[in-house]
Structure 1
Amino acid sequence: MNLQGPQLLDALRYIPSIRSRQAELRGFSELRPETKDAIHPIVSLGKNGRMDQSERVVEAIAQRVGQCFLDLNTYPGQACSDWERLCDPANAYGNWRDLLQRANGVTPVALLREGVPGRAFVRQVILLEREFGAVVIRSRQPAQDLAAMQAALSAVDDVNNLLIILDLGYIRGAVDPKETEARRIISALRTTDPTVRVCVTSSSYPKAVSVYGEFQGSLEIIERELHAQIGGDEVAIYGDHASIYPEPFEPVISRFVPRIDYCLEYTWLYHRRREDAGGYAECARQIVASADWDPAFANDVWGAALIARTARTGVVEPGFGSPANWIAVRVNMHIERQANLAASIAEGIEELF
Structure 2
Amino acid sequence: MAWGSTVSPLDVTDVFQEQVISDAGSPGGLSTVYKVYKGAPEHVIAIPEAYLVNVIGDGVSDNLVSPPDGSVPSATLIVPRRNNGPIVQIDLAAGQAISVQYTGFSGTREMDTFWTWNRARNLDDFRRGLQCFDSGTQNFAYADIQGNIAYFAASEVPLREDLQAGTVVGLPPWFIRNGSGGNEWLPRPPQADQAIPYQILPMDEMPHLINPPAGWFVNANNDPAGTVLDNNPLNQLRPGGGLYYLNAGYDAGFRAGRITELIQSKPGPRRGNALQRVARSIHPQQHRRHARQRAAAARDDAAGFPGRRRLRGGRRVHTPRASSERLRALITSRISA
Using the size of structure 1 for normalisation, the TM-score is: 0.24
Structure number having the greater helix percentage: 1
Higher relative contact order (CA 8 A, sep 6+): 1
- Greater Rg by CA: 2
- The two structures have a TM-score, normalised by structure 2, of 0.24
